[in-house]
Amino acid sequence: MTLTRARVRVEGIVQGVGFRPFVHALAGRLGLAGLVGNDAGGVFVEVEGAAETVERFLEVLAAEAPPLAVIERVTATRLAPTGAEGFAIAPSRAGGERQALVSPDTATCADCLAELADPADRRFRYPFINCTNCGPRFTIVRDVPYDRPATTMAGFAMCPDCAREYHDPADRRFHAQPVCCPACGPSLALVDRDGRPAAGEPLAAAAARLREGAVVAVKGLGGYHLAADAAGEPAVAALRAGKHREDKPFAVMVADLDGARALCEVDAAEEAMLAGARRPIVLLRRRSDAGGRVAASVAPQNRSLGVMLPYTPMHHLLLATVGRPIVLTSGNVSDEPIAYEDGEALERLGGIADWFLVHDRPIHMRADDSVVRAFRGRELPLRRSRGFAPQPLGLPWPFPRHVLACGAELKHTFCLAKDGHAFVSHHIGDLENYETFRSFTEGVEHFRRLFAVSPEVVAHDLHPEYLSTKYALELEGVELEGVQHHHAHVAACLTDNGEPGPVIGVAFDGLGFGADGTIWGGELLVADLVGFKRAGHLEVVAMPGGAAAIREPWRMAAAWLDAAFGGQPPERLAVVGRNRDRWEPVLALGRSGTASPVTSSAGRLFDAVAAILGVRDAVNYEGQAAVELEQLADPAEPGAYPARVAGPGGDGAPLRLAGSDLVRAVVEELEAGVATPLVAARFHNGLAGATVAACQALRDATGLGVVALSGGVFQNLLLLERTVAGLEQAGFRALVHSRVPPNDGGISLGQAAVAGARDRARGPGPRPDRTHD
């Protein structure tokens, strides 16, 4: 028998996922000697034995890896046999280049749930039970290598029983860093808003208070939530008042899939999303017969409901004890970031919550719940955060240099990229105040450390007033790469699909700074990752009063009616009557151009139509009018309003989609007494039809047969479905998002991809002098 020894390096998400015990067990099974350990590059292994057994080891290594591991590369080199016997777990090695990937927080596994429910188990009903296959990760990791001292579990010394499991290679908790039990781990407490403990067992007491109608702040995995009995109208109303959140829907947590089915229609794809290890909020269609189980004010005017399943043992116990669905919404007031530090939470949420269900395991990284919808059986992310971040997205094209992409403003994320990986951050929030800005800059530092990225290229939006742009422009010693907002959307969609383009890109959103300094938002680009040409756009109208027109969709109705009716908008419409006092001045403001920039925004067209149809004249959150217009539309209606597509002219001028045609048709049918759900649907279908027609004209001009759909407006499933169906019918291949959101949460990935592509296009050699100085 020929002895051989191999040194094996395993890269990917291989730390904190039970990889070393798996290797230990595998080597033991095959009778191989050697060692396994973690270092900053991932997992290192040395195995010694018969040549064919070492071969076998390498085959099984990738094929049978633990459930949470994501293996990206296994490399093996031959060493001289040492004759050493036995297989050992080597101490972690610090230093060196850090490439190990920290895994996302993961929902409690089936084995842990079984122990949680077993009266004979020493962790029976212990709210912090976890193992190598589940539990907190990203939110508790302070540094790499991922070992207990580098997590917020550092302060909890293991008891002898936990230590035995931790050191036993045959145990499910072997080297599970957050391992703990009632004797040695974190514990729960229920306190009032002054921090005084309540009587009784904390979970039972919190559940009782919830059933009585109290609002309870609950410390979770990535921050505090505010909880209330979902069926209790007064409690939900109190929660709304306290959060200053007038109509934005709340999410609901249910105990299990049956609980979700009692409230909503759930198909197989949605079940998989609800019950998977990431546990996002899934937007589901409400059942018409579920009335009463959820208070009306949970998701007013909404046919869908955001539902999630418990993802920590504490949530499982709480839901089982309360015995019915609870509202679980982020612990913040209005648009502040979610609270995650204990003292701060008590202070910030004391005005809303009656009680605080807290624990003593610190949260290092704030992470909001993720939100997804299903589109044609695939995940359509709306917010990619807890459970997803910081798992890297693999790209088919390596980045020549390290990149930081600073993102945009609303629904902000940033992205660090190197080699073949893009690390899109958790959801930061709307980058409009000091708090969120600080969480952005601290987040960048944390990611740089965790993933050993030293950005040489920094990508940013072109909007000069975004805090993310200002941050980029102030960095020293880096090369700056400005990326137009809608190009970034299209690039995000390309990257999401692993395609380099060129494609016809359709980017429909609220607004973004255009390459010509005007506000864009209804764009057709011929684009690849490096560059783009503005090949078409929605007809341009004024935004009377600028930002005021975003908050007050009736102003956009005035501007669109003015454009659609040649300066003589019909006076008899209800939207005119409701805003009679300010109608003429706002029309005049829009015509004058004073404080009224023009825009090609698709989002603003939805606003205008929503106001005309009486959906609403003013919004309480971004995109509300458009969301409610989608809710109003009858999904069974096939009719569509025609809209002209002008161009392209011989002069290369962009195509123009006549939004005015849609607005006129809406008004005519409204006045003819057609029901608003039909009018709303025909408007959706009409815009989809015009978009398809425009893509056909661009295909004739360019020969391109692939269309990438991106931008926040494509969170609208009705518009997305009709556009994709129309494109497919016309022989196009349509690319949609499934890994990052179509909204501005995906912008940072697009920016990074563009910066990397431009870097590759320039090739090696001297760099143009674009460095900020």
Give residues in contact with Zn ion (CB under 5 A): 109, 112, 131, 133-134, 159, 162, 181, 183-184
The nearer residue to Zn ion, 40 or 162, going by C-beta atoms, is 162
The nearer residue to Zn ion, 136 or 280, going by C-beta atoms, is 136
**Minimum distance from residue 133 beta carbon to Zn ion (Å):** 5
The nearer residue to Zn ion, 180 or 228, going by C-beta atoms, is 180
**Minimum distance from residue 72 beta carbon to Zn ion (Å):** 24
**What SS3 class is residue 225?**
strand
**What SS3 class is residue 242?**
helix
The nearer residue to Zn ion, 170 or 183, going by C-beta atoms, is 183
**Minimum distance from residue 17 beta carbon to Zn ion (Å):** 11
**Minimum distance from residue 191 beta carbon to Zn ion (Å):** 24
What distance in Å separates the CA atoms of residue 128 and residue 314, rounded to the nearest whole number?
7
Distances (CA, A) of 548 to 432, 446, 464, 486, 515: 16, 37, 20, 23, 23
**Minimum distance from residue 109 beta carbon to Zn ion (Å):** 3
Looking from the CA of 181 toward its CB, the CA atoms found within 13 Å total 16
What distance in Å separates the CA atoms of residue 534 and residue 516, rounded to the nearest whole number?
10
Residue with tokens 């094929």: 63
Chain centroid to Cα 98, Å, comes to 25
Looking from the CA of 490 toward its CB, the CA atoms found within 13 Å total 32
Closest Cα partner for 261 from 307, 317, 211? 307
Q: What value, to the nearest 5°, has the Cα angle with vertex 29 and ends 24 and 31? A: 90
**Tokens coding 6:** 């191999």
**Minimum distance from residue 502 beta carbon to Zn ion (Å):** 46
CB-CB contact of 506 with 483 (8 Å): no
**Minimum distance from residue 168 beta carbon to Zn ion (Å):** 14
**Minimum distance from residue 174 beta carbon to Zn ion (Å):** 12
**Minimum distance from residue 545 beta carbon to Zn ion (Å):** 55
**Minimum distance from residue 764 beta carbon to Zn ion (Å):** 47
- Write the CB contacts of 62 (distance below 8 Å, at least 6 apart in sequence): 71, 74
The nearer residue to Zn ion, 188 or 404, going by C-beta atoms, is 188
**Minimum distance from residue 122 beta carbon to Zn ion (Å):** 8
Q: What value, to the nearest 5°, has the Cα angle with vertex 535 and ends 532 and 540? A: 115
Strand partners, 42: 39
The nearer residue to Zn ion, 131 or 415, going by C-beta atoms, is 131
**Minimum distance from residue 179 beta carbon to Zn ion (Å):** 7
CB-CB contact of 292 with 229 (8 Å): no
CB-CB contact of 482 with 502 (8 Å): no
Q: Phi/psi of residue 723, each to 5°?
A: -70, -45
Strand partners, 714: none
Element (H, E) at 275: helix 268-275
The nearer residue to Zn ion, 312 or 413, going by C-beta atoms, is 312
Cis, peptide link before residue 390, omega less than 30° from 0: yes
The nearer residue to Zn ion, 162 or 235, going by C-beta atoms, is 162
The nearer residue to Zn ion, 131 or 506, going by C-beta atoms, is 131
**Tokens coding 758:** 């431009």
DSSP string, 493-558: HHHHTT----EEEEEEEEEEE-TTSSEEEEEEEEE-SS-EEEEEEEPPEE-TTTHHHHH-HHHHHH
What distance in Å separates the CA atoms of residue 201 and residue 495, rounded to the nearest whole number?
50
The nearer residue to Zn ion, 183 or 547, going by C-beta atoms, is 183
The nearer residue to Zn ion, 162 or 374, going by C-beta atoms, is 162
The nearer residue to Zn ion, 108 or 599, going by C-beta atoms, is 108
The nearer residue to Zn ion, 181 or 328, going by C-beta atoms, is 181
**Minimum distance from residue 256 beta carbon to Zn ion (Å):** 17
Strand partners, 504: 526, 707
The nearer residue to Zn ion, 25 or 184, going by C-beta atoms, is 184
**Minimum distance from residue 177 beta carbon to Zn ion (Å):** 13
Written as one letter, the residue type at 522 is G
The nearer residue to Zn ion, 128 or 683, going by C-beta atoms, is 128
The nearer residue to Zn ion, 110 or 268, going by C-beta atoms, is 110
**Minimum distance from residue 112 beta carbon to Zn ion (Å):** 3
**What SS3 class is residue 481?**
strand
Query: According to the 3-state scheme, what is the secondary structure of 558-622?
Result: HHHHHHHCCCCCCCCCHHHHHCHHHHHHHHHHHHHCCCCCEECCHHHHHHHHHHHCCCCCCCCCC
14 Rama class: left (phi>0) / alpha (psi -120 to 50) / beta: alpha
Distances (CA, A) of 66 to 21, 29, 159, 391, 599: 10, 16, 26, 16, 51
**Minimum distance from residue 419 beta carbon to Zn ion (Å):** 31
The nearer residue to Zn ion, 183 or 204, going by C-beta atoms, is 183
- Write the CB contacts of 464 (distance below 8 Å, at least 6 apart in sequence): 470, 513
**Minimum distance from residue 42 beta carbon to Zn ion (Å):** 22
Chain centroid to Cα 301, Å, comes to 24
